[in-house]
Amino acid sequence: MTSPASGAGSAADLPDYAPIPRSALGPALNDQGYYVGRVERNLYWVTDGVYQSAFLTTRDGVVLFDAPPSIGHNLRRAVDEIAAANGVTNTVTHLVYSHHHDDHAGAASLFGGDVVRIGHQETKRLLLRDNNPARPVPEVTFADTYTLQVGGERVELAWHGPNHSPDNIFIHFPGHDTLMLIDIVNAGWVPIYNTNLTEDVPGYMAAPATALSYPWTHFISGHVGRLATRDDVAVHQAYIADIEASAKEALAAVDPVPFYMHYGENFWAGIRGHLNTVTDRAAAPVIAKYTGVLAAADIEIYTWTTTFAIMQSLRLDRGPSGPVHP
């Protein structure tokens, strides 16, 4: 693996990467650093170009979906902007957590104590564990499914098992032709390190097929500067499938014995040599194939670490991890 040099002394020392495909980019941000746009009817999305949130305006109040701290107070500004333009209330009455991670929920406390917070039961457990006042514990929780009805609007929340995190849920807006699923697909971009820093790799790999089983046209992914489409999800699936196939081939092709023979009693060095060689072999064709197709595919460490995570999942989750000693 060739990774960017650490401790670069100046901008001149930084590596260059392939141009970002224009299709990976979203609308321009305003002077305050955010963009808010209509998804359908009274459902809106907000982005700072890296993170995303959404909100639903209703006759009884505003329902907010996630509160990334990088957007922070701009969420309030976005809600106020839309409410003023449409002559509706700007009072946030409900906040739905997609999952417990701070980068998507760390501004949840900005909306006061009167907001009804909703999340999966595991989200509540994890937020109690983390004990961070910026992410108040949800008062309303559910195990498998929950129907949220506010001001004549309906939102379906569902947990289909662990994926990116143990508590990451699917948020379906049946009246708005939209699905929200965070930290799985980055529209037009590769996942960052280790399958988007995922905790359950098999669940992460299965989540896009579950997403596609819902009826929707618009997809709110939680990251990058534009909404996703069904085609974006399909390209992501192809990228992950190519990594899986390449990892299987590399595991079968690379002989581990020379590495362990060379390092002798230094078993950890043998493991590093073997598994890094497998990952190098598996990642290289995927990086070449998707450079220019998915943004940041040529930042090798992203595909390399995602390949390593999937390769390890093939060994440890599906098995076999290695031959059985006779």
Determine how many CB atoms are found less than 10 A away from the CB of residue 259. 18
In a domain, 13, yes or no: no
pLDDT at 7: 53
Return all residues near 80 (Cβ < 8 A) that are at least 6 apart: 90
Instruction: Give which of 144, 153, 189 is closest to 42, Cα–Cα.
Output: 153
Q: Assess contact for 220 and 45: CB atoms under 8 A.
A: yes
User: Confidence band (pLDDT; 50, 70, 90) for 112?
Assistant: confident
Q: How many domains does the chain have?
A: 2
- Contact between 186 and 221 under an 8 Å Cβ cutoff? The reply is yes
Select from 225, 256, 287 the last residue of a domain: 225
Per the domain annotation, does 192 fall within a domain? no
Model pLDDT for residues 198-214, shown as the tens digit of each residue: 999 999 999 999 999 99
Q: What are the backbone dihedrals phi and psi of residue 62, each rounded to the nearest 5 degrees, phi first? A: -105, 135
Give per-residue pLDDT as tens, 30-55: 999 999 999 999 999 999 999 999 99
Taking phi over 0 as left and psi of -120 to 50 as alpha, with beta for the rest, 171 belongs to beta
pLDDT digits (tens, 9 = 90+) for 217-241: 999 999 999 999 999 999 999 999 9
Residue 263 lies in a domain: yes
Q: What is the pLDDT of residue 8?
A: 58
**Is the pLDDT at 264 greater than 60, yes or no?**
yes
The domain that contains 43 carries what CATH number? 3.60.15.10
**Residue 326 covered by a domain:** no
Instruction: Report CA dihedral (286, 292, 295, 301) to the nearest 10 degrees.
Output: 40
Give the pair of three-digit tokens for residue 7.
């401790």
For the entire predicted model, the pTM comes to: 0.95
pLDDT of 287 strictly over 60: yes
Q: What is the pLDDT of residues 5-34, one digit of tens each?
A: 455 577 778 999 999 999 999 999 999 999
Judgement on whether residues 252 and 123 belong to the same structural domain of the protein? no
The pLDDT mean for the chain works out to 96
Best CA proximity match to 275, nearest among 241, 235, 322? 322
The dihedral built from the CA positions of residue 246, 248, 250 and 252, taken in this order, carries a sign that is negative
* Whether residue 259 sits in one domain with residue 181: no
Parent domain of 43: 22-186+218-225
- pLDDT number for residue 322: 82
Q: Is residue 7 part of a domain?
A: no
